[in-house]
Amino acid sequence: MNIQFSIKKLQRFLLGCIAVIFVMAITFEILCAIAIESHLISGETPNYQTPGLKPFWVDENPHFGMWHPANEEYTHTKSCFSALYTSNSFVARDKERSKESKERQVLVIGAPFVEGYGLNSPERKSDFLEQKMGIEHLNFATSGHFVPTQYLLLYQHLSKQFRHDSVIIGLLSDNDLRMMTLNMEKSTLRTNTDLILKSEATGIN
């Protein structure tokens, strides 16, 4: 009888400890989010809307490295913005496009500021130009480690498949040149050397 009473008492104690730890963890999470939003500490606001916790930028394309998952929605939230990103079946951050469109089309290639990092799609330059000019602007830009050598590889392996009349390339001189140096992170160095070597080995012009 005393043994059963001790076991029940121990169970209640353990459950109580778990409950206290759980409440403390939730409270800590809330306080951290408030501190980040109030700019008291630096950090990224927790994003609980990310499907499967999968990032929107992944270094997995065999030809040009950094790209997106297909047909994905991602809510990107930081202390200074909250933006919804969506990708199409061709894995670009854009609405669905036709490769054989008879309408005039412009390809837009570049890095974060061209893709619209931190912006909802209607706020991007490519969407603004499309609306004002009445000409489709296909956005093939991406964030992450993505530099001019990869712009070329992306065009060769993907975006040139879409009929187009012209191409806009967005360059940010300081960022692009700095990332082209040997001080780059290892993953970026790989996408700037290995991918180019692969391209040359396969005879791509």
Residue range(s) defining the domain that contains residue 25: 1-43
Residues 24 and 57 in one domain: no
Q: Are residues 35 and 80 in the same domain?
A: no
Q: Position of tokens 């500490």?
A: 41
For the segment 172-196, the average pLDDT, to the nearest whole number, is 57
Asked if 86 and 171 sit in the same domain, the reply is: yes
| Whether residue 103 is found in the same domain as residue 172 | yes
Q: What is the pLDDT of residue 147?
A: 83
Q: What is the pTM of this model?
A: 0.66
Determine what percent of the chain is predicted with pLDDT higher than 90: 39
Task: Look over the chain and give the mean of its residue pLDDT values, rounded to a whole number.
Answer: 81
Domains: count for the chain: 2
Question: What value does the mean pLDDT take over residues 168-192?
Answer: 63
| Residue 73 and residue 5 share a domain | no
User: Do residues 20 and 55 both lie within one domain?
Assistant: no
Judged by average pLDDT, the poorest of 10-14, 22-26, 46-50, 121-125 is 46-50
Torsion angle, alpha carbons of 103, 108, 109, 114, to 10: -150
pLDDT tens digit string along 92-133?
A: 999 999 999 999 999 999 989 999 999 999 999 999 999 999
More confident: 44 or 106: 106
Burial class (CB in 10 A: 0-12, 13-18, 19+), 152: middle
- The C-alpha atoms of residue 153 and residue 37 are separated, in whole angstroms, by 39
Beta bridge partner(s), residue 139: 108
My answer on whether 71 and 140 are in the same domain is: yes
Is residue 19 located within the same domain as residue 113?
A: no
The CATH number for 85's domain is: 3.40.50
Residue 74's φ and ψ, nearest 5 degrees, are -145, 125
Q: With 90 as the cut, is the pLDDT of residue 136 above it?
A: yes
CA nearest 94: which of 162, 166, 188? 162
Q: Is the pLDDT confidence value at 177 over 90?
A: no
Whether residue 26 is found in the same domain as residue 117 = no
Do 158 and 76 share a structural domain?
Answer: yes
DSSP 8-class letter at 120: -
